[in-house]
Amino acid sequence: MDIEKANAKATERMIEAHPVLVGLGKAKDVIPGMRDNLLMHAGPPITWERASGPMRGALTGALIFEGKAKDPAEAEALITSGEIELEPCHHHQSVGPMAGVTSPSMTVYIIENRKHGNFAYCNLNEGYGKVLRYGAYSEDVLKRLRWLDGVMGPVLADSVQAADGIDIKALLSEALHMGDEGHNRNKAGSILFLKALAPYIAKSAPNSDIASDILRAIGDNALAVLNPVMAACKAIADAGHGVEGSTIVTAMARNGTDFGIRVSGLGERWFTGPVGTPKGLYFPGFTAEDSSGDIGDSTITETAGIGGFAMAGAPAIVTFVSGTPKDAINTTMEMYEITYAEHKYFTMPPLDFRGTPTGIDVRKVVEKNITPRINTGIAHKDAGVGQVGAGLVRPPMSIFEEAVIAFAEQYGL
């Protein structure tokens, strides 16, 4: 068996994937397998019993949003009884930031990989502060979700259609030349997204006040484009998945309790281990004591060759996640050690337009004893609080070791 050839194929498919935002729709109408009694969540599978504070908070909020529960106790009863089922976003061609909880009536972005034909989905970004994805579920959080779904969602759907889609691959390539790394820093990407949609939003909105509100909501949210970018990265990673004999990682995701990875040549199996706690900068009034364990599907960005892996092109991010511009360069240089390819289209001007390190090889991770570096937001450990900082984190080495052993067993090496 030629592992190198398999990895070349998997990474080439990832690099040549062409994700385009083609529409928005209700999760239950567009996501395969979404159903009335399902909540999707970030990371590998999880139960209520093992779920972290922010994950429980987000599950509670989603059930209140759906009109199925009034409080955490009712949410817990519905979920532990099995009346409401929990499944990873990743099991439904989807991803979600932080808790990643997505319920049937939420609006989601629809990404089509125009090169290979697969689709991927992600919910809408709520902005900063107390938000569902960080486990907050107060009335203002729910009000915001209702506005996103009832007001912004339909206008964005019409706008994306009128624009004949938004090329997220091209947007990312450009944003990486504007100081973004595409995960924790999406300042440029979000206003490129605004730029692409604004002429259509003005026409699609029912009136100028709503147009103004939507333009402000996107423009003021430097993470507005994170969610379509995550869905784009999911479409990219899925294009590289399922290549016989490939040791390339095609999913990295955390549910707040477990960090899980999937490998291209190892089917749907998750390799999981305990999440770490991010190291970084905390917002005023918070410390590492307040931090939840690592959480979210946004590590799909690093899986696709951006995020922490592209930090060399985003030196200003260190003001947010800690460190110096030299650390940012070092992070990218280190990731070349554990990846198969250099990206053709995602390049970094400060490294003389070198392509980002793309396609994590579980064998290299183990051989070199270097785990992937991830940029991340930090959630409060308790339900209902929200974001408390941002920083850097790594997955546990054990899951890569297990993947290497499983690979050897499956392929009889």
Residues within the interface to its own copies (CB under 8 A): 174, 177-179, 187-188, 191-192, 194-196, 198-203, 205, 208-209, 211-213, 215-216, 219-220, 315-316, 318, 324-326, 349-350, 352-353
Short-list 145, 150, 94, CA closest to 124: 145
Place of tokens 């908070």: 57
Angle between helices 72-80 and 53-65 (to 10 degrees): 90
**Minimum distance from CB of 178 to its own copies (Å)?**
4
Residue 174 or residue 290: which is nearer to its own copies going by CB?
Answer: 174
Q: Which is nearer to its own copies, 58 or 205 (CB)?
A: 205
Nearer to its own copies, 320 or 400 (CB): 320
Please identify, using beta-carbon distances, which residue of 58 and 318 lies nearer to its own copies: 318
- Tokens standing for residue 193: 């997204």
Query: CB–CB of 395/374 below 8 Å?
Result: yes
C-beta separation of 330 from 311 below 8 A: no
Minimum separation from the CB atom of position 225 to its own copies (A): 12
SS (H, E, C) 83-126: CCEEEEHHHHCEECCCCCCECCCCEEEEEEECCCCCEEEEECCC
Please state the closest distance from residue 205 (CB atom) to its own copies, in A: 7
Which residue, 142 or 215, has its beta carbon nearer to its own copies?
215
> To the nearest whole angstrom, how small is the minimum distance from the Cβ of residue 180 to its own copies?
8
Closest separation in Å from C-beta 325 to its own copies: 5
How many Å is the Cα radius of gyration of the chain?
20
Q: CA 6 to CA 91: how far, in whole Å? A: 23
When the beta carbons of 90 and 183 are compared against its own copies, the nearer one is 183
List the one residue out of 404, 326, 330, 340 whose CA is nearest residue 373.
330
**What sections of 282-379 are H helices per DSSP?**
300-303, 318-321, 325-336, 362-368
Q: How far apart are alpha carbons 148 and 214 in whole angstroms?
A: 9
Choice between 17 and 311, CB closer to its own copies: 311
